[in-house]
Amino acid sequence: MDTNKKLIGGEFLVKEVPATEIFTIEDINEEQGMIRDTCRDFIASEVTPDLKRLDDHEDGLMRKKVDKAGEYGLLGAGLPEKYGGMNVDFITTMLIADNLGSGHSFSVAFSAHTGIGTLPLLYYGNEEQKQKYLPKLATGEYAASYCLTEPDAGSDANSGRTKAVLSDDGKHYILNGQKMWITNGGFADLLTVFAKIDNDRILSAFLVESKTDGVSFNPEEDKMGIRGSSTRQIFFNDVKIPVENLLGKRGEGFRIALNILHVGRVKLGASVLGGMRVSINHSVNYANERKQFGRYISQFGAIKYKLAKQAIKQFSTESAVYRVSGDINILAEENIAEGMEKGPAEIDAIAKYAIEAAILKVYGSEALDYVVDEAVQIYGGMGFSAESPVDRCYRDSRINRIFEGTNEINRMVIIDTFMKFIKRGDYDVFGMGDKLLNIKGEIQPQKGDGTYFSNQFAQIKNLKQVAIMTLTAANNELKRRLGSEQEVMMTIADILIQIYIAESTMLRIQKNDSTNNSNKELYKAMGDILLYEATQIIRNKAFDAVNSFVEGDLYEQLINGVEALTKIPKINIKEASRQIAEKMIEENKYCF
């Protein structure tokens, strides 16, 4: 892959990349395929048979499952070999998150341990801290959790009240405070705890062993979903933490927390794929077994439409997830080649794709919600029974729109980060936008040369112009008030999300069109429907934004421009959907 052609975070709005330069799920190598199969076998043999027991919080069972994942080498897959890990690349860690994502509550416990529980130490710990704890985390001897949220500090993490004071002898920090919604809290051995030292305004981070005197726990939370996941409040009462357990530098905790959230968002985008895949398979299986009016319900057009839409949500999320994975992997490997260690190399790369991380989190979690909701609908009355498998899918999905920052927060992160990158000169969005706004007469949309991909990418370029024009107008009109106009920010974020997902999907389709992939025509059918719907969404969101902050001549100019750039190409949605669904019905599973 020509690394000179990769796009850094947010550049997808102003630049194009050849399809040959992106990574897709079809590009995984033999070793990665074996790891994928290991993950699927683990879920099938170790997790799925015990889902009910896990949901009932059978004492010690989840911890045993985490330990078993350590025996398989999955807990330490992304860690360097010197700490007992397999040192796989970033793409492979995303593949693991994807294929363990069908494990319901186990997936949450696994993600919390290997992601937010372990990575702060890998990315920010000193060598002594890493040598002490990472080998134990890699095997499962120690389980990990991440303690950031407090009762009065949810999305505003830096407002937390947990406090650390240096002891008189200078050997310990004395920690006092409370944390809530702590995943793995009931069995974690190592806690990454965020607190303010003395009267600091900014958080610091500490490594705290859970058996230290003064650490106590509330009972398990009774939750709507992910019931098998251990979630507890944790209290710290005069807990003595050795000064050498300060993670990173004093006052660096908030930065650590934000960067780990970027990681969590990317990994969540991957883990929802496993949840979608299993829900689609349940849907297809049931549709092929359930008869109504003397026919299997999979033969009805209404059911075929639902199955096709589920497949498109999965396929498009997959396309974006592995595109970002490939981009982050390239940058991380470049950092390593320049002398950085694996941890800092990865966190630097992920931070540069903070926009895409937030996009994956929002789109992926909402795609999963759509898929599980339709799975319940396909099951009908049986779907509402706790005896059906889709009951658990539905309940467990809902948390993902709250995890790693709510989707509302993440939509604002997308715009905030875009504005930061623009203002520091990473790309000239406003210069391009001003040119569009100064065009006299009607804006002329780009047209392809009549061939399939030329026409599709011309359409995507037009949608990019809508985003550039709308964001520029919002900046020009609202100026410093833009940050407080959350409704406008979120509508523009939705435009950017649709563009990135549509482009990633079409690039994947184009890359596979030159291969022997037997599904490539069905890929095009999915891409056609996705682009059709993305254009409609972008048109409506742009109108929503423009109507919220523009008056006079500029209003007419923007509305006319949006109308010209969002003309929707003709497509037979019914026939395209049936082709997609009929392939899955034949295979009795998601098969793309």
Q: What is the CATH number of the domain that holds 52?
A: 1.10.540.10
Q: What distance lies between CA 105 and its chain's CA centroid?
A: 17
Would 592 be classed as within a structural domain?
no
Token pair 């999979």: residue:
298
Question: Of the candidates 118, 143, 168, which is a domain's last residue?
Answer: 143
Which range marks the domain in which residue 229 is found? 146-251
Going from the C-alpha of 190 to that of each of 127, 137, 157, 163, 540, the distances in angstroms are: 17, 9, 20, 19, 48
- 23 and 137 in a common domain: yes
Q: For residue 295, what are the β-bridge partners? A: 292
Would 421 be classed as within a structural domain?
no
Q: Please check whether residue 279 is in contact with residue 372, taking contact to mean a CB–CB distance below 8 angstroms.
A: yes
This prediction has a pTM of 0.94
Q: Which residues of 252-267 are buried (b: 16+ CB within 10 A; e: fewer)?
A: bbbbbbebbbbbbbbb
Q: Which of 292, 331, 294 is nearest to 6 (CA)?
A: 331
Q: What distance lies between CA 66 and its chain's CA centroid?
A: 22
Given 404, 485, 503, 533, which residue is catalytic?
404
Q: For residue 508, what are the β-bridge partners? A: none
Beta strand 231-242 with 295-296: parallel, antiparallel or unpaired? unpaired
DSSP string of 545-577? HHHHH--HHHHHHHHHHHHHHTPPPP--HHHHH
DSSP secondary structure code for residue 220 in this structure: P
Give the list of residues 6+ apart from residue 6 with CB closer than 8 angstroms, or none: 17, 21, 327, 330, 331
CATH number of the domain to which 176 belongs? 2.40.110.10
Active site (annotated) includes residue 404 = yes
- 436 and 290 in a common domain: no
DSSP H or E run through 366: helix 354-379
Provide the H-helix boundaries in 242-340: 253-289, 301-337
Would 53 be classed as within a structural domain?
yes
- 224 and 167 in a common domain: yes
- 242 and 260 in a common domain: no
Would 232 be classed as within a structural domain?
yes
Q: Spell out the per-residue pLDDT of the chain, length 592, in tens.
A: 233 467 889 999 999 999 999 999 999 999 999 999 999 999 999 999 999 999 999 999 999 999 999 999 999 999 999 999 999 999 999 999 999 999 999 999 999 999 999 999 999 999 999 999 999 999 999 999 999 999 887 667 677 899 999 999 999 999 999 999 999 999 999 999 999 999 899 999 999 999 999 999 999 999 999 999 999 999 999 999 999 999 999 999 999 998 998 999 999 999 999 999 999 999 999 999 999 999 999 999 999 999 999 999 999 999 999 999 999 999 999 999 999 999 899 999 999 999 999 999 999 999 999 999 999 999 999 999 999 999 999 999 999 999 999 999 999 999 999 999 998 989 999 999 999 998 887 889 999 999 999 999 999 999 999 999 999 999 999 988 998 999 999 999 999 999 999 999 999 999 999 888 889 999 999 999 999 999 999 999 999 999 999 988 899 999 999 999 999 878 999 999 999 999 999 999 999 9
Question: Of the candidates 143, 160, 192, which is a domain's last residue?
Answer: 143
Question: Of the candidates 186, 218, 251, which is a domain's last residue?
Answer: 251
Q: Which of 230, 220, 116 is nearest to 183 (CA)?
A: 230
Q: Which of 13, 55, 457 is nearest to 222 (CA)?
A: 55
Q: What token pair was written down for 72?
A: 């398989």
Would 268 be classed as within a structural domain?
yes
- 433 and 404 in a common domain: no
Give the list of residues 6+ apart from residue 174 with CB closer than 8 angstroms, or none: 164, 165, 166, 167, 238, 239, 240, 241
- 134 and 180 in a common domain: no
- 271 and 232 in a common domain: no
- 575 and 521 in a common domain: yes
- 530 and 383 in a common domain: no
Q: Please check whether residue 155 is in contact with residue 100, taking contact to mean a CB–CB distance below 8 angstroms.
A: no
- 244 and 293 in a common domain: no
- 216 and 136 in a common domain: no
CATH number of the domain to which 490 belongs? 1.20.140.10
DSSP secondary structure code for residue 153 in this structure: B
Question: Domain total for the chain?
Answer: 4
pLDDT at residue 4, rounded to an integer: 43
Give the list of residues 6+ apart from residue 576 with CB closer than 8 angstroms, or none: 308, 525, 526, 528, 529
Q: Please check whether residue 346 is in contact with residue 328, taking contact to mean a CB–CB distance below 8 angstroms.
A: yes
Phi, psi of 13 (to 5 degrees): -75, -30
- 292 and 272 in a common domain: yes
Would 321 be classed as within a structural domain?
yes
> What is the C-alpha R_g of the chain?
24
Would 453 be classed as within a structural domain?
yes
Would 505 be classed as within a structural domain?
yes
